[in-house]
Amino acid sequence: MDTSLARAAGGSRPAPAPVGAVLRPRLRDGASVSAPTDRQGHGRALQQQLRRIRDDAVRRHRTVVLTGLSLANAAEVADGLGAESLGVVTSVVAQRLLTLPHEVHLLAVSPLGGVVAAVVCERHERDAVGEETRTVCSGFVDVVGTRVWPVVTVGLRPIAHALESTAVALADMRQIVFDTDRRSPGGVRWHEPGTVSTPARRTLSLTNDLADAMVDPDEQLRLAFQPVRDLRTGRVTAVEALLRWQHPEHGMVPPPDAIGVAESSGLIHPLGAWVLDRALRQGSVWWRAHRYVTVHVNVSPVELREPSYAAGVARALRLHDLPPTALLLELTETDLMVGDREVRATLDSLRSLGVRLGIDDFGTGWSSIGQLLDLPVDTVKVDRSLVSRIDHSPADLDLLRAVLGLLDTAPMEVVVEGVENLAQASVLRTLGVRLAQGYHLGRPVPAAQLTLGGPGGPGGAARRTAD
C-alpha cells in the first residue's frame, strides 16, 4: 500500500502508512495516532495497546470510544472489482477515520473490510462520535477506474474508567458491529447490554451443536406431523412434516433458529435430506395402509439453488416407492418472489417430475397474484396473520375475504393456516374455505399419535392427548 492509495482517495488525503508504521497526522491537541503492528494475533497485544490508551485517557479525564467499522458491501466490492480493490477501499475508509476532530488510534485494519480504532475525546463529546464517524467515512472512493460507495457500518463501545476489561470491551464492540451489519447495514449503533439480538457466539455454538447432531440425526432430531383437514368432512387430506430438535443441554431449539444456522453453515443440505427421507418414509407407511395423504415438506431456497436437488428428490421418492404426487414441497413466498433463476430452474424440474409445489405464508408482504400466476405452484397457504382476528374483527374479516377473492382467480388449491378455535373454523366455512390447518384441527404430533381414518373414509381427529 503506497501512494496509489492517495490517488484512490482522489488525492484529498495522505496515503496510509504501511502496516506496522506509525501514522502521525496533525490532531486537534497535537497527539499522535498509532497504527497496529504487522501481526494477525489481535489477542493480548491488542488488549495491551488498548489498556495503555485507556489508562492514559483516564489520567487525562477523557473517554475512550472503541470504534469498529465494517464495509457492509465488502463482498460485492471484492466480487466485482477484486480483493485488492476491497483492500484499497478499506484503507481509504480507515484513513478518513483519522480526520475525526479527536485523538484517534488505529488498532487494526483488515483488507477484508474491517477497521478497529480507539477514539479519545472529552467526556461531553462522546455522544457525537458515532455521527461524526459516519460523516467523515462517507463518500465515493475512486478505484480501478470506477467509483465505489463504501457502505460503512459503525459500532461503538465506550470505555469510561480504568477498571473496565479491554477484552470484554473488544468482544462487545465486535458483537455490536456484527449485529448492526446484519440488521442495519450502514447504520450506527452504540453497545448497550441486552441490545444485541443474536450473539455471534451463540450462533457459532449452535452451528457446532447442529454439526454434531448430524453425525447421528436420529438421536436429537425428529419430525412432528400436523394435519391439513377438509372443513366440510373433517378428513385429513395432507400432513405437514415439521422439524423438531431436542438439544441435550438446552432443550427444544426453536425451528427458526435451527433452520437459520443450518442455512448459514451449509448444514441445510444434509439436514434437508434427512427431513425429506424421514417424511417420505412415514408417507410410505401411510400409503401402504391405503391412507393416501400428501406429505408437505418445507424446503429452503438454499437447497433449491443446488442443481442436483431435483434429482435427489426423485431418488428419495423411488427409495420409498412413492409417486411424485405424494409429495408437496413448501417454500415461503418471499423466497419465491425474488426472481432467483437457480431456484426457478429447480422448481421447473420438480414440477416436470410431478412433485407438487406450494407457497407458504401467503399474504405476509410479497403477495402478488400476477407473480403467483407466473410461478409453477399449485397450492397456496394463507398466512395465520390473516386469520387470528377474523372471529371478532370485521376489518380483518374483510381483508381475508378480499385475499380469498383474489386467490379465486388463480387455478390453485388454497389452504388457510392458523385456525385456533371453533369460531374461526365456522367463519372460514361461511367464506367457502375447504382446506385448513391449525391447532384447532390438529397439533403437530409424532406420527404414532396422528389418526388418519380408514381407507377412503373421513379422517379422525388427532388424539386429544396431543393438545
Dig out the grid coordinates for 166 from the structure.
479491554
Distance set, CA 404 to CA 20, 119, 329, 375 (Å): 66, 57, 22, 18
Angle of helix 255-265 relative to helix 200-213, nearest 10 degrees?
90
Q: Global pTM?
A: 0.62
Q: Are residues 207 and 191 in the same domain?
A: no
Neighbours of 242 (CB within 10 A): 18
424-438 pLDDT, tens digit per residue, is 999 999 999 999 999
CA–CA separation, 115 vs 93, rounded Å? Answer: 8
Q: Are residues 193 and 307 in the same domain?
A: no
Q: Are residues 8 and 101 in the same domain?
A: yes
Q: Are residues 70 and 153 in the same domain?
A: yes
The amino acid at residue 8 is A
Q: How confident is the model at residue 4 (pLDDT cuts 50, 70, 90)?
A: very low
> Domain count of the chain?
2
Neighbours of 127 (CB within 10 A): 13
Q: Are residues 223 and 178 in the same domain?
A: no
Q: Are residues 228 and 364 in the same domain?
A: yes
On whether the CB atoms of residues 141 and 92 are closer than 8 A, the answer is yes
CA–CA separation, 148 vs 78, rounded Å? Answer: 11
Range of the domain at 332: 202-466
Q: Are residues 206 and 150 in the same domain?
A: no
Highest mean pLDDT among 143-147, 323-327, 383-387: 323-327
Enter the DSSP assignment of 386. Answer: G
Which residue among 148, 179, 197 closes a domain? 197
What pLDDT score was predicted for residue 39? 41
138-173 pLDDT, tens digit per residue, is 999 999 889 999 999 999 999 977 778 888 888 889
Q: What is the CATH number of the domain that holds 125?
A: 3.30.70.270
The amino acid at residue 438 is G
169-204 pLDDT, tens digit per residue, is 888 898 889 888 877 889 999 987 655 444 555 666
Q: What is the CATH number of the domain that holds 253?
A: 3.20.20.450
In 3D space, the residue among 239, 243, 189 whose CA is nearest the CA of residue 218 turns out to be: 243
Q: Are residues 255 and 184 in the same domain?
A: no
Taking 60 as the threshold, does the pLDDT of residue 22 lie above it? no
